[in-house]
Copies of this chain bind each other. A is one copy, B any other.
C-alpha cells in the first residue's frame, strides 16, 4: 500500500532531480556539457536510470524546456503589468523576452532552438507553453488593426524577437545595436495603430 506510494514519491523526486541537474549543468556550461554520463554522475546514479525516467536525452531537454516556458510566462506577465499604455506594454514585453533569452541562453535553446519532441502549435502542447504564448498575445492584441488576425500577428512578432535573438547569439548580428533593432521591430508593429 503505502510502500507503493513512497516509491512513487521517491521516483518523482529523482525525476525532478534529473531535470534540475540537467538545467543547472546546461546553464553553467551549455548543453554540450550535458552528456548522459556527466548527468548521471551529477545525480549520483548510473547512466541507465536516466532511461528509466526519460526516453532519451531529448526528452530530458523537453522537460527542462517546459520549466522554462512557465518562467517565461511569469516574466512576460510582470513586464506587461508594469507598463502603462499598449505600445509601452508591447515594448516592455519584447524587452522582457529578449532579456530572458540573454540571461538564460541554455534554457532558451531548449525551448526554442533545439529540436525537442514536444507538441507545439497544437492544443496538446504543455499548458506552460500556451501560457507563455498567451502573454505575448495579450501584449499584441491591443495594437492589432482591424482586419488583422491577432494570433498571426503575435506569431509574426514572436518570430521577429526570436530571429533577433538567434542571429545575435550566433554572432551574425552585432550585439551592440540590439536595443536599436528591438525598438525598430516594436515600432513597426505598433505603427499606424491606436
**What is the size category of the interface that chain A forms with chain B?**
20 to 34
Contacts of A166 in B (CB 8 A): 113, 162-163, 166
- Interface of A, helix, strand, loop or mixed by DSSP: helix
In the assembled complex, the CB of A131 is this many whole angstroms from the nearest CB of chain B, namely 15
In the complex, A148 Cα to B188 Cα: how many Å? 11
Task: Indicate whether A164 reaches chain B with its CB closer than 8 angstroms.
Answer: yes
Copies of this chain, complex-wide, total 2
Query: Contact string, A172-194, partner B, CB cutoff 8 A, digits 1/0?
Result: 11100100110011001101100
**A85 on interface, CB distance cutoff 8 Å:** no
The reply on A48 being an interface residue by CB < 8 A is no
- In the bound complex, what is the Cα–Cα distance between A160 and B182 (angstroms)? 11
- Asked if A120 is at the interface (CB within 8 A of a chain B CB), the reply is yes
Q: What separation, in Å, do the CA atoms of A184 and B113 have in the docked complex?
A: 23
- Whether A120 touches B172, Cβ cut-off 8 Å, given contacts A162-B166, A188-B191, is yes
Which B residues are in CB contact (< 8 Å) with A63? Answer: none
Q: Which residue of B lies closest to A125 (CB)?
A: B172
Contact flags (1/0) for A136-154 with B, using CB distance below 8 Å?
0000000000001100110
11 A-B interface contacts by CB (under 8 A): A120-B170, A120-B171, A156-B164, A159-B163, A159-B185, A160-B160, A160-B163, A162-B163, A162-B167, A163-B166, A191-B191
